[in-house]
Amino acid sequence: MKYIDAHIRGGLGTITLNRPPLNIFNIEMMSEINDTLTDWIENRDLKVVLLNAHGKCFSSGVEVAEHMGDLVSKMIESFHGMFRLMDRLGAVTVSSVHGSCLGGGCELSIFCDLVIADDTARFGQPEIQLGVLPPIAVQIMPRILGRKAAMELIFSGRIVSAQEAINMGLINKVVAEGDLTKETDRFIRPYLSLSAEVIRVTKKAIKRGLMDDLEPSLRIIEDIYLNELMTTADAQEGLQAFLERRSPNWKNC
C-alpha cells in the first residue's frame, strides 16, 4: 500500500502510518486503513491491533483541503469509516504515539482502547480555530475525560504534553524518547498471551456495561457537521484562511 504498512503476526495486527513527515491523512490513506481493517474484522486469532507511525510524528491530522467543497462528504465517510471498523474489532486496540498527535490523528489515537506515548508526544484538537469541529473527539472525549475537561480541550483547541495527557486520563503510559518501540512491545505483550475469544467477549461486555454504542451518536454528529457546520460562512472562511496562511475574518454566521 502507498501510505500505510500493515501485517499480522502471532495475534498482533500492526498498522503503521507511512506518509512522512507528518502523516497527514488524505482520503486515499484512510481508504487503505479501512480496507485493512475490513480484512481483519473476521480474523478470530487477532488479539491486538497496534497503530503506530513512521516519520516525524504520529499524525498532524486530516488534509485541510479535503474538508472543503465536494470532498467533505467523502472525507467524512472515509474518516469515520476507520472508527466504525475499529468499533467492530474484537481485539484490543493500542496506539503508540510520538511527536504531534493532532486533530484527526489525536482522534484516531485516543479512540484506541489503550494509548502509550513517549515524552515528545503532544495531543490536541485545534479544529475550532479553523472554524470546524472534531466529530470523533466530540463523541468520545466527554466519555474519557468527563464533560468539563473535554469541553475545555475542544473549545480551546489547546495542545497538551504527554505528561498532561496522562494526568488527565487521556492516555495510559508515558515513556522516554527513544524507548517507545521497546516499551510498546512490553506494553502489549500481556494481551498477546490471552485468549482471542475471551478478549472479544470481555471487550463486548465492557462496551455493553457502559451502554456506549458509537453509531447512534456518530450519525447525529455527522448530520450536524455536514448539514449545519459546513453550510456556515465561518467554516469555509476558517479553512480557506488556513490554506492561505492568514488569520480568519469571522462573520459569525
The answer to whether 116 and 104 are in contact (CB under 8 A) is no
65, burial (CB in 10 Å: exposed 0-12, middle 13-18, buried 19+): middle
For 114-155, what is each residue's pLDDT tens digit? Answer: 999 999 999 999 999 999 999 999 999 999 999 999 999 999
Q: At 197, give phi and psi (nearest 5°).
A: -70, -40
| Separation between Cα atoms, residue 44 and residue 91, nearest integer Å | 9
* Chain mean pLDDT for the chain: 96
The answer to whether 133 and 111 are in contact (CB under 8 A) is no
CATH code for residues 4-192? 3.90.226.10
Q: At 77, give phi and psi (nearest 5°).
A: -60, -45
Q: Indicate the Cα dihedral angle 126, 132, 136, 142, nearest 10°.
A: 70
For 4-32, what is each residue's pLDDT tens digit? Answer: 999 999 999 999 999 999 999 999 999 99
Burial 8-29 (b: 16+ CB within 10 A, else e): eeebbbbbbbbbeebbbbbbeb
Q: In the predicted model, what is the mean pLDDT of residues 230-235?
A: 95
Domain boundaries, the chain: 4-192
The answer to whether 50 and 7 are in contact (CB under 8 A) is no
3-class secondary-structure state, position 89 = coil
Cell numbers linked to 119: 515524552
Ranges of beta strands (E only) in the chain are 4-9, 12-17, 48-53, 92-97, 100-102, 114-118, 122-124, 159-161, 173-175
For 172-222, what is each residue's pLDDT tens digit? Answer: 999 999 999 999 999 999 999 999 999 999 999 998 888 888 899 999 999
pTM of the model: 0.93
Residue found under cell 476558517: 238
